[in-house]
Structure 1
């Protein structure tokens, strides 16, 4: 009979990855099975009853708010190889492109999904539902992941509001897994280079605060999904081929984080706006380029109608890299580990996930 580990022996097994510069910590072991008959229900339990895990891995001394965490959980749909729950500084988004790219790479590298040379397809289950994955494996290396972006649409087009210390700001709002404010970087005086990162975060904070104070947003099926959490700075769009566009971009997550990558959902939001403005056709691609010169490629695959909304179908392609394999020790005597809502879900780091 196994003994319950002493508190100082509690640990969590991690694989740290990044896609486009955004670090995603993949939790592969150390968490007991969560209540809930769907991945969405498991996410809600984690959010409401065990948010200490998110705080533990995104705050000092274990992490920083600019990171994300993806917990591998069993899928509720038999068609999916595994489920995953996304945790960020703003909470629990139901979908994320960069996190999906990292998670898909991690389940291949960890052997939860056996690698197959060439192109292979499988499904994962996010809180948003099933996600089709296509992995490109060359010589045993995962060279690219293409994942479905959530169906995206424009909620608000070219609204204006006054933002203290900035002035009048024109913005659009897209839904692409979360509500995004889309603003023209040039109009705000930005070139979207690395040296502007702090000013971009300060500017975005003020705009998001002003939008949140003025209004809320409701999804056509999900209803109220909380205050607007994202802002995407858009650089000029350059056409580099008949069906290929490129644009510098930066995504802000409230409160206070400029993502290292342009984000997959931010790229999906851009595709929705380009479609709304009649600037893109099915089959066209947009590469968004970050402050760190990394990029994701979004492909506009078509549209369909959902009530009054023309919804854009799309895919996001990127590459993830494995940074580290580790077991972190969680000691409840450590004064830096303040949130006790994590200990009841800690188990064996070797327990299989997915």
Structure 2
């Protein structure tokens, strides 16, 4: 007799970044807020993240989002983001994918035209606008987190690379921002492996040299991300475009430009005085997918000019599945998972 576990998934992608949305099979989690539920998963039930992001079920380039009931009465649903580096409190591409999946499954009623709803992320409430045409979710616009520049044009010596000029933004995580051309990159698909290697070296050097603290959240961990910036093209009045590439983990350049990376770019452009409220920036990935960030306003928070912004992209459904997890499989690690799996999704197999 072997024991088989089952989790209901919808696989989606936005800009090429695959997000696995868990819509069934997990028990309600303890915690008065979605943030506390995320912390429970992180500290006591990390098996779900590990299972779905590693062989034989997944790979590190993917993300996982667990749908949970909202704890805030203003929100329609909640979600927890899981990535290979851990549990980010917010992600633009994951939010776009999650909102799309909720609409496509009917967990949030899909209505023709423009509709608005609110999701509860570990970072707090996120206002969503969906554009539905002929029953298809054509676009999701979500709020980016309040974003600011922490460090502007610092320099660091990186072994094997030399002196590197970088800025640091916070947009849901701390991002190093570097000019791709200064490092010899044109941001073409054939450069992906070298971009990842270069970014890893720079991030390691910055982590060894500096720690960063959010002005209200405090210590949110070492700087994990790096965004390569291509030249900014002025496409039309109030509309800009730039090739971009975002590093998120050793060996991994995101398929998309990422929503938080796009927010970081908007903060830097505002800091340098090159955009005004209402202006938009389209970031374009190595695979020519894009997100559009809009600079909606700014405010002073202590010593920081905080940028308010939105991110727009399109999510696509790839697959719907009941994923079978056989804990007798020697390649499958079920520790940290059994105690959160819904009893109705446990099966036995002779």
Query: TM-score scaled by structure 2?
Result: 0.97
After superposition, the Cα gap between the structure-2 partners of 1:14 and 1:348, relative to the gap in structure 1 and judged at 3 Å, is farther
**Among 86, 89, 92, which residue is 2:87 paired with?**
92
CA–CA distance in structure 2, aligned partners of residues 8 and 211 of structure 1: 46
**Among 276, 286, 289, which residue is 2:284 paired with?**
289
How far the C-alpha of 1:255 sits from its partner, in A, is: 2.6
Does the CA contact (< 8 Å) of 1:69 and 1:88 recur in 2? Answer: yes
**Among 3, 8, 30, which residue is 2:25 paired with?**
30
Paired position in structure 2 for 1:46: 41
Paired position in structure 2 for 1:10: 5
SS at match of 2:201: helix
Unaligned residue ranges in structure 1 (runs of 5+): 1-5
CA–CA distance in structure 2, aligned partners of residues 210 and 339 of structure 1: 36
**Among 164, 179, 186, which residue is 2:159 paired with?**
164
**Among 45, 54, 62, which residue is 2:57 paired with?**
62
CA–CA distance in structure 2, aligned partners of residues 176 and 132 of structure 1: 16
Paired position in structure 1 for 2:188: 193
Paired position in structure 2 for 1:309: 304
Does the CA contact (< 8 Å) of 2:53 and 2:63 recur in 1? Answer: yes
Does the CA contact (< 8 Å) of 1:148 and 1:316 recur in 2? Answer: yes
Q: For 1:1-354, what aligned pairs fall within 5 Å after superposition?
A: 8-348=3-343
CA–CA distance in structure 1, aligned partners of residues 41 and 244 of structure 2: 32
SS at match of 2:70: coil
Unaligned residue ranges in structure 2 (runs of 5+): none
CA–CA distance in structure 1, aligned partners of residues 326 and 180 of structure 2: 45
Does the CA contact (< 8 Å) of 2:113 and 2:133 recur in 1? Answer: yes
SS at match of 2:337: helix
**326-335 or 225-234: bigger deviation:** 326-335
How far the C-alpha of 1:348 sits from its partner, in A, is: 5.0
Please list every run of at least 4 consecutive aligned residues from structure 1 whose deviation after the TM superposition is greater than 6 angstroms.
Answer: none
**71-80 or 267-276: bigger deviation:** 71-80
How far the C-alpha of 1:338 sits from its partner, in A, is: 2.6
Does the CA contact (< 8 Å) of 1:8 and 1:329 recur in 2? Answer: no
How far the C-alpha of 1:9 sits from its partner, in A, is: 2.8
How far the C-alpha of 1:7 sits from its partner, in A, is: 6.0
SS at match of 1:330: strand
- The count of residues paired between Structure 1 and Structure 2 equals 346
How far the C-alpha of 1:272 sits from its partner, in A, is: 0.1
SS at match of 1:252: strand
After superposition, the Cα gap between the structure-2 partners of 1:349 and 1:274, relative to the gap in structure 1 and judged at 3 Å, is farther
List per-residue Cα deviations over 1:179-229 (Å, max 9, x = no partner).
Answer: 000000000000001100000000001001111111110001100000111
CA–CA distance in structure 2, aligned partners of residues 348 and 296 of structure 1: 40
